[in-house]
Amino acid sequence: MSLRAVVIDDEAPARAKLRRYLAQSDGMQWVGEAADGPSAVGLIYKARPDVVFLDISMPGMDGFAVLQALGEPLPAEVVFVTAHDDQAVRAFEVHAFDYLLKPVGPERFARAIQRLLDKVKPSLDMAGRIEGLLDGAPVPVRYLERLLLPSGEAAELVRVEHIDRVVANRNYLDVFVEGQPRRLRGTLDSMHGRLNPASFVRVNRSTIVRLDAIRQVQPWPDGEQRLLLVDGSRVTWTRRFLTNLPPGLSLS
């Protein structure tokens, strides 16, 4: 089994270099990358990597803030890749596996990979041997409880019960909290799968609504429904998506 790795760096050439190194490393598999802190947290939750190659200095949310948002214990081994030589002590205080100084040469990177494989690979191989025993077991579903959202030049962890609606906007999502949109990169389908269907419902092609944010429901032409939300916005619940009505909820 290969170690799954993600690369987090705000500089595209630095990400490309690490991708190239990973492609040349036996036992490693690149599974994604991000260019900023908020996107990094979402990627790590989604991709569930074994290793995170993480820059420290990034606009809005640095590498240490990313680890703080992920919480303890960290979900993956962390290798800092940075131009700053004065943060090593702090890096190991947050239990980083390694600390690579830019520009990273192929030999130094290869040594870090070998140490990672020596530490992590045995446990992954054992997991692979017993995986067949778990095939018939039900998979527990864990829905989002908090979402990391941009707030000015920083980011804020927001409990999902404070989110009123999520609206698709091309390659982004506008997440409305108390009437104010916060923009994330992502798809509505992906977000819909991460939100508890007992609390959130998709009401049309571009909108997810928290049920408790609905103040009023009005009949609308062609069998549709018009929703008035607590923030004063109005949203149409189209006929196609009325089949998403959660059990125990009636609009009649």
Q: Which residue has the higher pLDDT, 198 or 79?
A: 79
User: Which of the 8 DSSP states describes residue 150?
Assistant: E
Domain end among 90, 106, 134: 134
State the residue range of the domain holding 56.
3-134
N residues, the chain: 252
Task: Write out the two tokens for 29.
Answer: 């598999």
Domain end among 95, 113, 134: 134
Residue 99 has pLDDT above 80, yes or no: yes
Which phi and psi angles does 160 have, rounded to 5°? -65, -25
140 is a domain residue: no
* Residues 184 and 91 sit within 8 Å (Cβ to Cβ): no
Q: Alpha-carbon distance 109 to 56, whole Å?
A: 17
249 is a domain residue: no
* Residues 80 and 98 sit within 8 Å (Cβ to Cβ): yes
**Statement to judge: residues 179 and 129 lie in one domain:** no
**Statement to judge: residues 154 and 234 lie in one domain:** yes
Q: What is the mean pLDDT of residues 67-95?
A: 87
The total domain count for the chain is: 2
**Statement to judge: residues 152 and 228 lie in one domain:** yes
* Residues 60 and 23 sit within 8 Å (Cβ to Cβ): no
Model pLDDT for residues 106-161, shown as the tens digit of each residue: 999 999 999 988 887 655 444 344 344 334 444 445 688 888 887 776 778 888 99
**Statement to judge: residues 129 and 166 lie in one domain:** no
pLDDT number for residue 124: 47
18 is a domain residue: yes
- Looking at the chain, the whole-number percentage of residues with pLDDT higher than 70 is 87
pLDDT number for residue 178: 86
- Taking the complete model, does pTM exceed 0.75, yes or no? no
Whether residue 103 is preceded by a cis peptide bond, meaning omega within 30 degrees of 0, is yes
Q: Alpha-carbon distance 193 to 105, whole Å?
A: 40
